[in-house]
Amino acid sequence: MKKIFLLLFVAIATTTFAQNLTVTSGNLSFLKGQTEVNVERNYGSPLFQADNFSETEYLERRHKETVAKKGEAAWKTWIDTWEQHVETIWTEKFIEGLNKSKKIKFSQNIEAKYTLIIHPTWMYAGWSGFVTQPGKLSADITIVETANPSNVLVTMKGDKIEGVGSKVDYGMEYGRLSAAYEKTGKEIGKEIKKALK
């Protein structure tokens, strides 16, 4: 039995997931000399889980599971917290990750020459238990001239970036997704830091 658990652990620990951030057009050198960049999130209609559910489908399934196990009051608490994450917390965690680079200050609703826009396209909530599966985020990222948003200076694509190494509640899916937003921000920050050396 111990050998089975050991094999299972090794298989999980050595499994790698395709996760990366790619600059798909332009380069980040135009950010030299900038001290601040505005941040926006274009939430749009991301897909969820390996089955590519719409958010409505994902929430319907989650509602059904929660009510069956814990009742309507638990669902109310869950959906209220989910909505807080959608509306503010995920973006805040993304910005927190961006600001780890310490080269440029990223904030929402500021007057800055450039605006970074994140558009999440796919989210995977992961799970928590004996083995934890982190949340993952795929997103399109653009940096535009704030005064002329049609002037796109750089585009990037985040592919299944895993939310690890964050101080969030990994016990709940919105927490695991928060970590994926933060990790995506960190990866972008690393790219910017490299470009500004």
CA–CA dist 96, 92 (Å, integer): 6
pLDDT of res. 2: 52
pLDDT single digits (tens) 151-165: 999 999 999 999 987
CA–CA dist 194, 186 (Å, integer): 12
Report the percent of the chain where pLDDT is more than 70.
90
pLDDT single digits (tens) 56-65: 999 999 999 9
pLDDT of res. 9: 45
Nearest to 183 by CA among 133, 126, 132, 136: 136
pLDDT single digits (tens) 2-28: 544 444 443 444 344 456 999 999 999
pLDDT of res. 169: 73
Q: Which CATH number fits domain 17-195: 2.60.120, 2.60.60, 3.40.50, 3.30.43?
A: 3.40.50
pLDDT single digits (tens) 75-121: 999 999 999 999 999 999 999 999 998 889 999 999 999 999 999 99
User: What Å distances lie between residue 119 and 5, 29, 43, 123, 181, CA to CA?
Assistant: 39, 22, 6, 11, 11
Share the mean pLDDT of the chain: 90
Who's near 115: CB < 8 A, 6+ residues apart? 37, 38, 39, 40, 143, 144, 145, 146, 149
Report the percent of the chain where pLDDT is more than 90.
79
pLDDT of res. 121: 98
pLDDT of res. 129: 80
CA–CA dist 57, 152 (Å, integer): 33
CA–CA dist 156, 125 (Å, integer): 22
The tokens describing 106, both together, are 């990223």
Give yes or no for a contact between 161 and 141, defined as CB atoms under 8 angstroms apart.
no
Q: DSSP 3-state helix, strand, coil percentages of the chain (rounded to 5)?
A: 45, 30, 25
**Which residues partner with 118 through β-bridges?**
41, 141
State mean pLDDT over 21-47: 96
pLDDT single digits (tens) 116-134: 999 999 999 998 888 889 9
pLDDT of res. 130: 82
The backbone region for 71, taken as left when phi is positive above 0, alpha when psi lies in -120 to 50, beta otherwise, is left
